[in-house]
Each structure stands twice: as C-alpha cells, then as structure tokens.
Amino acid sequence: MILLIGLNHKTAPLAVREKLFAGCEEKQNLLSDVLLLPAVQEVLYISTCNRIELVCVADGEDKTIEALKRFLAQNGSLTDEEAFYCLYVYREAEAIRHMFRVAASLDSQVMGEAQILGQVKEAYRQALKQNATGLVLNRLMHRSFRTAKRVRTETAIAANPVSVSFAAVELAKKIFGSLSGKKILLIGAGEMAELTGTHLIGNGAEEITVANRSSAQGTALAEKFHGKAIMLTDLDAALIEADIVISSTGAAGYVVTAESIRQSMRKRKNRLLFLVDIAVPRDIEPTADSIENVYLYNIDNLQDIVDENMAGRKKEALKAEAIVEEEVILYNSWIKELEAVPTIVSLRSMAEGIVQSELEKSLGWMQKLSEEDREKVDNLVQSVVNKILHAPVAVMKEESSEVSSKGIVDAVRQLFRLDE
C-alpha cells in the first residue's frame, strides 16, 4: 500500500513547519531510519518551505501509520496537539492523487509555480542515491513527472508567472508605487533569490546588491543583474542604504536580527524599510516588525497577494485536475495488476514445465523428424499452451485493473494447484 504522511502550508502554521523542517534536516540517515520501521518497504522524503512529507510503500495497518506519524513528530519536536491537527495521512488512490497534484503544482501555495517539480525531482534523486525506493515508488515518481509535464503543456496554468518571489515583488510595488530608483538588497544567492531578482528587474528595479556567504555564488548572481556583491558580514552597512530587503537563505538561525535593524534605522533617520522574508526557517527576526517605519512580511503574509494573482489560473486548474484523475486511474490500474503478476508468472512457469516434460517423453519418435519438423511441433505446442492460458491471464489482468484481484487470483491458484 502507498502511504503519504506529512503537513503543509494548509494544515500547519509557519512556526510548526519550521520545527519539522529543522528537525528532519538535522537527521543524517532519515530515509534509512524510516526503512527500519516495521512493514516499510520503500520511502521518499519531500521537504520544501511549504511541505514536509514521507511517501512510503508499507502495509497500511494503523500501527504502521502511527509509527510514521510518531517518527515525524519526534524529529520535529511537535506537541501532541500539533501532530494531531497538522499531520495528514493519505492512502492508496488518495496518496497517488496527492503526489501527482504536488508535482503538477496544484497543491502549492502558489498554484502553477515551477519550483516544486524541481524540488520533487531532487527528493527522488536523493532517495535513489540511498536505494530507498523500489518498483512501486519509482513508477509513482515517473508518473508524477509525466503528469506535471502534461499539466504544463496541455493547460495554461503556468501562464503569467506567479510565485512567492513574484508576490514579494508585487507587495513591494504596492508599498512604494514604483521600484525605479529604489535600492534592493537580496540576501542569499540561491534559486529563490534569482527568481526574485528577475522579477525585480522586470518591474523597474535598477540597483541590486546581493549578500551571500559564498563570495563566488553571490558575485555570479550580482553580475547577472548588473549589481554588486557583498559578504554577509557587511550586512549592517547594506541595511542602512537599502529600501527593499528580500531574504531567502538556507541558514539555520536569524541572518538579520531586530537589533541590527534598529541600529540601521537610527542611521537612516527612520527612512521606510521594507523587508520580505521568504526563507524557511526564517532569516529575519520576527520582532523587527514592531520597529517604527519597518514593514516585515514572511511567506504566510504573502498569501493575499498570491490569491489575487491566482484568479486567472482557476479555470485552467479544472483542466489540470482532470489530467491528474486520468493519470491516477492509469497508475492505480498498474498497481492492481501487480497483484496478479506472481500468479501469471507461476501459471506460465507451470505450463512451460509441462510442455518440456512431455516433449522429453516424446524424444524417441521426435528424433526421427527433421529439425524443421521438430521446430514445427514445438511451435504448435507453445501456440496451444498460449491459447489455453490466454483467457485466465486476460481475466486476471482485467479484473485487477477494476477491483482487487485477490478473489480471481486465489481461484486460479486453486484451480491449477499452483501452491502444491
């Protein structure tokens, strides 16, 4: 059975997501530890700023589900209440559907954003690297990627780029009216910073400074925007000059403290400072929002802007959901067919054994035949066997694609005495 257990931006506030994210990131052998749990055969771990999920192949019993929930709760230091209200569990078709929707960005905070597919692919790469997946999850992931591709090519859900970074830029435009002449400080030089910088340039920003721990990465991004790069150690000076600060590092603690902002505000004579923290865990100390003339927004605060930009995508989402349902049916049929595969293999193996045995008994008179005639006899026997087996094999496949094939499989095993 496929199980999916986790939490996301719909079920858990940012503070809870941060705890679980940090706890799981610190765990060196997360996938191998999950595989040590009873009845877990395959596992994949997906972790983004908006979701932490385990996708498993397991027996589906209550004790297994409770063990997986307890694993996540303990690693994230979640309270019993947080685990109860924030963690969700999907089984079989629900889990398959959820995975396809995640990959196709239908379950993202910003529907249609492209980042999530790359994050899911990276999660799969890590699982493959650790030999944590097998036949079922490998097929599930490839079907997820196929579904995402279909959604992007067959719908316009990704038209007019919308993302958290785009929403941050839209919010800055609402605060300042125009970005022309504003000094921008990007903290971090990863993919999110690059997306944000691209949106800023597209909306009139001209002076961009990139602050990053790695000088080479920061310089490369700054050059792309014709800006300048600084080290994180020079942040205090940069805060004095900046009008808009957008932070998206992967740091474990606060990169910008409330005290450093308070000191910079004195030197900038309380000139308005707009801060957007799109990192998980957060980069900017939340209490900075209480400082006069400082406007601080985090990922959850961007939801209103995201909602405004989503209006044009809702119609396309209906088409996308229909594609997901088609793919769920196809994958579910394949899963159900797996139940019949061992019996089909056993049936063919038994028939081939009988053929070989009978041909060996006939060697006496068959040796008198020419090689060509012996081949004709062999082909004739194989053809008869295939025609006899065709009906039971076809029925098992057909039945298993519609419902559980256990009944028909058991009947075939009994009729042909495959277990003797």
**Mind giving me the DSSP string for 183-221?**
EEEEE--SHHHHHHHHHHHHTT--EEEEEESSHHHHHHH
In whole angstroms, give the CA distance from residue 212 to residue 193.
10
Q: Which of 411, 405, 404, 358 is nearest to 381 (CA)?
A: 358
CB 238 within 8 A of CB 247: no
CB 212 within 8 A of CB 218: yes
CB 115 within 8 A of CB 163: yes
- Sort strands 88-91 and 228-231 into parallel, antiparallel or unpaired: unpaired
In whole angstroms, give the CA distance from residue 125 to residue 171.
35
In whole angstroms, give the CA distance from residue 319 to residue 344.
37
In whole angstroms, give the CA distance from residue 145 to residue 266.
51
In whole angstroms, give the CA distance from residue 10 to residue 101.
14
24 a catalytic residue: no
Which are the contacts of 43, defined by CB distance < 8 A and separation ≥ 6?
Answer: 31, 34, 35, 54, 55, 56, 57, 127, 132, 133, 137
CB 159 within 8 A of CB 105: no
- Among residues 24, 49, 56, 86, the one annotated as catalytic is 49
Angle at 339 between CA 333 and CA 344, to 5 degrees: 110
DSSP state of 24: H
C-alpha neighbours within 13 Å on the C-beta side of residue 132: 26
Q: Which of 53, 59, 54, 69 is nearest to 7 (CA)?
A: 53
Q: In what order do the strands lie in the sheet with 2-8?
A: 42-48, 51-57, 2-8, 88-91
Long-range contacts of 354-363 (CB under 8 A, 24+ apart): 354/385, 355/381, 355/382, 355/385
Active-site residue numbers?
A: 49
